Amino acid sequence: MQNQIFNICYLPIFLFFSIFTHSAEKYYPDLSWETVIPESQNVKSENVQYLIDIAFTDNSTLGVVVIKNGRIIGEKYAPGFDLNSHGTSWSMAKSYYAALIGISIDKGEIGSLDERVKDYLDYFNDERSEITIRDLLDMSSGLDFPSHEHEKMFFQKNHLDYSKKVGVEKDAGIKFEYNNVNSMLIGDILFQATGKKADVLFEERILQPLQIIDYKLWKDEKGNVMTYCCVDMSARDYSKFGLLFARNGLWNDKQIISKSFVDETFKLVWDTTPERFTRFKRGYSLHWWVSAYEDNFKIFNTSGKFGQYTFVDRENDIVVTRITKYNQQDSGDVQKWGPMSYLKWAGVDNAIKLGRKLIENGVIESGNNVITPFTDKEGESKEFYSRYGDFIGAIENLSCNCYPQSIFN
């Protein structure tokens, strides 16, 4: 009887240390994920639910995945979608292809971030000769910067040709300007340094080690990899990339990206940036956005048009992905503009609106007459942007209101 009393008295303490030890393990998903209750990772269920509820105040949300210590502690999908449903990354892809620069530096294929672009791209041996790779990744190249941020490039047949012709507007390194051409040039730098196109490198060096097998890497009509946008995959698979950075570039026992490059990425280079989609203050560094940078709380994130995000709280091993509704296509991964090719010099907003109208009215068929990543009105965020600050606060609350505090308070 005495032993039974002893066991009962110490059971809560045993459970606490069991939970703590379990959450401290470095778990990595493979083709599947371990899904656990939030409390097993020292997070309150109500805090996870609050985060998910914020995302789903916007009807455009396809899915949300919340990860702590590598395990899924919360997940929800809109009706008609599930864990296998693809979203399209839009500019989240910028962060993915920038990671390949870091890997090439690790392998000695590229000397450093501070090498000049002209060392790899001979057509930069002109007024652009002082621009460095770092300038491209920090969005401070000084290249010509029109009001459409070179989104018109998306409607061209040859995106690389378009990028090669963009000249200089100002000195490099002095101003943040979100220029899509900076990111498109990354693919050519990688090709000149390695002899392989960026999609092949992404597959070999990141996707395969992370066991991501269901994806689409978009190319333009001439076969150039669109390194400034457009990777299709599930919310869970986007989250694997976030987890790779949360774990300092380590995946199981393999260092995919050096910790030093992840450290360099997770610095605050630009502490404020012009408003994009939200009035919430954000910074930028090496093709990642910075949504919080305090002594005790830092959030870096990938970000894509219409509301695609993967947030990384590296210090607390938390990853959150939110993507919007997307009509997944089975028609290949190479753009084909067909009858819409005449829109290539139209304003971006006008081109998007007209394209949607033509598809809605059955004049053209997406995935047949026209093949391209496409987000219709149902997948375009509105309310989420107004709640962006609340969402960041909810991510913070996952760790600062953790399970051990609820035990001792």
Of 6-15, 165-174, 329-338, 381-390, the least confident: 6-15
Has residue 3 been placed in a domain? no
User: Within a domain: residue 4?
Assistant: no
pLDDT at 10 over 50: no
Dump pLDDT digits (tens) for 377-398: 999 999 999 999 999 999 999 9
Residue 344 included in any domain? no
Q: Kindly state the average pLDDT of the residues 313-322.
A: 98
Beta bridge mates, 317: none
CA distance 387 to 178: 23
Query: Is the pLDDT reported for residue 405 higher than 70?
Result: no
- The answer to whether position 7 is within a domain reads no
Handedness of CA 176, 177, 178, 180 (dihedral sign): negative
How many domains are there within the chain?
Answer: 1
Span 361-373, average pLDDT: 79
Give the domain CATH number at 383.
3.40.710.10
Q: What letters, b where the CB count within 10 A reaches 16 and e where it falls short, cover 84-104?
A: ebbbbbbbbbbbbbbbbbbbb
Q: Is residue 276 part of a domain?
A: yes
Read off the pLDDT band of 327 (50, 70, 90).
Answer: confident
pLDDT at 348: 67
Answer yes or no: is 366 within a domain. Answer: no
Residue 314's closest CA among 91, 96, 67?
A: 67
Q: Does 147 reside within a domain?
A: yes
Residue-range definition of the domain harbouring residue 106 = 45-336+371-408
Alpha-carbon 365 to chain mean position: 28
Residue 40 lies in a domain: no
The C-alpha R_g of the chain, in whole angstroms, comes to: 22
Q: Under DSSP, is residue 97 helix (H, G, I), strand (E, B) or coil?
A: helix
